[in-house]
Amino acid sequence: MNASPARHRSLRLRLLAGSLVWILAAVAITGVLLADLFGQHVRERVDTELHGHLDQLTALFEVAPDGTASLRMPLSDPRLSRPYAGLYWQVDRAGDAPVIGLLRSRSLWDTALAVPADALADGEVHVHETEGPDAHPVRLMERMVRPAEQPEATYRLIVALDIRQIHEPVEEFATLLAVALGVLALGLGAAAVLQVGIGLAPLRHMREALGAVRDGRTRRLEGDYPQEVQPLVEELNTLLAHDEAMVERARTQAGNLAHAVKTPLTILANAARNDDSALARLVDEQVGDARRQVDYHLARARAAAAVQQPGLKTPLRPVIDALVRVMTRLHAARALHIATAGVPDTLACRGDAQDLQEMLGNLLDNACKWAAREVSVRAGRRDGHLAVHIDDDGPGLSEAQRSAVLARGVRADEHTPGSGLGLAIAHDLARAYGGDLCLSASPLGGLRATLLLPAA
């Protein structure tokens, strides 16, 4: 399974992606709306300012009886007195093109405002954007008036403001707004990450609790969970209890079946031993083979059931010590030395104790049968597995023999007592647990059996 689909199925990434997309969209839309609203506000303020200047110009404008137009007094804004200061006024005779010498503010210096040729009613106000002094665009407001002294004459009164005085504050506001909204977006993103982390924390705790069940530290999910998660925890605990009961029932039924089969086989074997005929020897041989098959398949069935059961954990050292005591008594006549100093007390197998005894017992028994004087047991961890090395100083096996003896019923020496199933049973049980059994040359000169099992 590749990493990309796993990321797409991540609940954390989905929640974060959804939150961040909405945060970015909301911040972007808010920024655009606020910038547009501020621009409208600035334009309204400019139009209000221009309207005030136009009203003042209208109030101060007068025409003498001889037709000379003038202002009773200068307009109050000092910008009108500075050349190209950005604020201008101008008075034109209606229908005349603006020329040097008409009434205009000092700020226009030696230029005139280019006014669109539109028709205005008396007192009507029009607003335009056109080119102003020094080739800079201006926002222009005009009004048509008829002075009382000469009603037949029509004058166009004009005020204008450099449009840069509108754009610059809008741009400055947009820059500050972008910084502020960027900080806000980062804060909201951090809050979303924190919220998702806190919201999904119960699922992380539940995963840790499941890991504890798998590793055998506990048999049920424990902890206090939110009401949305608690029903799932209860269902999982119910499922664990049900599986545990099913495994125990299967193990009991397998044991009962084995006992039921072994009883008539024992009767047949005892009857055959009392008879020396060819038929009796055949029956005794077949009964022995049947009993070995029952033992073999019973071990596999028990291991298959145990593998499905979570929470199994068996310390290694007590099992090995018990088996060494049994093997010491069983092979007491040969005075074998079985060394177990290389087995730490902290190692444990994630499996059933009876299955571990079955595997190690077969391997130890095989090593003791072939050893001359010494058997060594060592254990450690390897890539998440428990590795148990059982060495003997016997004759050992060739590479071809090592592969053959792992097959069911194959024996390295027909004269040595045994069924030929010990190594095969240990091999199949290890495979059932997700481990393996490997045979190699031993540093003691004989055979090394390495049993790999999941470590707890």
Measured in whole angstroms, the distance separating CA 363 from the mean position of its chain's CA atoms is 44
Residue 101's pLDDT band (boundaries 50, 70, 90)? very low
User: Which pLDDT does position 417 carry in this prediction?
Assistant: 43
Residue 304's pLDDT band (boundaries 50, 70, 90)? low
Neighbours of 345 (CB within 10 A): 9
Neighbours of 87 (CB within 10 A): 22
Percent of the chain predicted with pLDDT > 90: 19
User: Which pLDDT does position 95 carry in this prediction?
Assistant: 61
Long-range own/partner contacts, residues 429-438 (CB < 8 A, 24 or more apart)? 429/299, 429/300, 429/303, 429/355, 429/358, 429/359, 430/359, 432/300, 432/303, 432/304, 432/307, 433/303, 433/307, 433/350, 433/351, 433/355, 434/307, 435/385, 437/359, 437/363, 437/406
Residue 414's pLDDT band (boundaries 50, 70, 90)? very low
The mean pLDDT value for 10-39 works out to 90
Pick the residue with more confidence: 68 or 100? 68
Distances from the Cα of 242 to the Cαs of 143, 173, 220, 250, 437, in angstroms?
Answer: 92, 67, 12, 12, 32
How many CA atoms within 13 Å lie on the side-chain side of 261? 16
Tell me: pLDDT of 366 over 50.
yes
Q: What is the pLDDT of residues 222-272, one digit of tens each?
A: 778 888 888 888 888 888 888 777 777 777 777 677 667 767 777 777 777
Tell me: pLDDT of 415 over 50.
no
Q: What is the pLDDT of residues 169-216, one digit of tens each?
A: 999 999 999 999 999 999 999 998 898 888 888 888 888 888 777 766
Q: Under a CB-based contact definition with an 8 Å cutoff, are residues 221 and 209 in contact?
A: yes
User: Which pLDDT does position 301 carry in this prediction?
Assistant: 62
User: Which pLDDT does position 407 carry in this prediction?
Assistant: 66
The mean pLDDT value for 322-327 works out to 89
Q: What is the pLDDT of residues 373-403, one digit of tens each?
A: 999 999 988 887 889 999 999 898 888 887 7
pTM over 0.75: no
CA 16, CA 117: separation in Å to the nearest integer? 59
Q: What is the pLDDT of residues 114-164, one digit of tens each?
A: 888 777 777 788 888 888 887 889 999 999 888 877 777 888 899 999 998
Q: Under a CB-based contact definition with an 8 Å cutoff, are residues 352 and 409 in contact?
A: no
CA 254, CA 298: separation in Å to the nearest integer? 7
User: Which pLDDT does position 420 carry in this prediction?
Assistant: 46
- Which tokens sit at 88? 């201008």
User: Which pLDDT does position 308 carry in this prediction?
Assistant: 52
Tell me: pLDDT of 168 over 80.
yes
3-state secondary structure at position 157: strand
User: Which pLDDT does position 298 carry in this prediction?
Assistant: 66
Q: Under a CB-based contact definition with an 8 Å cutoff, are residues 160 and 140 in contact?
A: yes
User: Which pLDDT does position 249 carry in this prediction?
Assistant: 78
Pick the residue with more confidence: 340 or 307? 340
Tell me: pLDDT of 60 over 80.
yes
